[in-house]
């Protein structure tokens, strides 16, 4: 993770992680609302990191996430993304805009949810093989 003073200098995306969006949609909504109050125009990124296409992100941007897998995969895949863990962002801004009682609730919800998707290392070879097979078995265009 790189460090810089003003993360608002780039477009900001909130990538909560697909599993959290499925299991804790209210928590994701609360975090998204919190980030919008801090930074204004912030985009919600809902794609699963395991299935994301590496051609998606040409712009330099900040990705704030709650998911360890998203943090790792997007950070390793895209050199132009500045990855930030939500809690490190919160630590920087909590004196300006604290979560108050919601902080404990958010941490409990996150702790009770496995935010990592299915094991990436085990699944990646299957999806790579499927992608190769599916593209080689296409019917020619007429």
For the chain, domain boundaries: 5-135
Q: Which residue has the tokens 């704030």?
A: 64
Tens digit of pLDDT at every position of the chain (142 positions): 454 456 778 889 999 888 888 888 888 898 999 999 988 889 998 888 877 765 566 788 899 998 888 888 888 888 888 899 898 898 888 888 888 888 888 877 776 665 544 445 555 676 677 677 767 766 666 5
pTM: 0.71
* Domain at 5-135: CATH code: 3.40.50
What are the start-end ranges of the E strands in 43-85? 43-44, 61-65, 81-85
What 3-state class would DSSP assign to 36?
Answer: helix
**In degrees, to the nearest 5, what angle opens at C-alpha 109 toward C-alphas 46 and 49?**
25
CA 72 – CA 17 distance, rounded (Å):
12
CA nearest to 10, candidates 75, 82, 70, 74: 82
- Would you give the distance in Å from CA 26 to the centre of its chain? 16
Contact 13, 63 (CB under 8 A): yes
Structure tokens at 36: 């919008």
């Amino acid at each position: 993770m790189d460090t810089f003073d003003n993360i608002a200098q780039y477009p900001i995306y909130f990538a909560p992680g697909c599993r959290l969006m499925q299991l804790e949609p209210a928590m994701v909504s609360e975090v998204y609302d919190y980030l919008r109050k801090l930074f204004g125009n912030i985009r919600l990124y809902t794609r699963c990191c395991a299935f994301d296409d590496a051609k998606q992100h040409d712009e330099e941007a900040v990705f704030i996430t709650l998911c360890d897998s998203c943090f790792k995969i997007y950070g390793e895949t895209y050199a132009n993304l500045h990855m930030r863990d939500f809690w490190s962002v919160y630590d920087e801004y909590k004196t300006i805009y604290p979560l108050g009682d919601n902080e404990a609730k958010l941490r409990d919800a996150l702790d009770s949810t496995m935010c990592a998707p299915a094991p990436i290392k085990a699944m990646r070879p299957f999806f790579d093989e499927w992608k190769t097979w599916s593209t080689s078995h296409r019917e020619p265009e007429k």
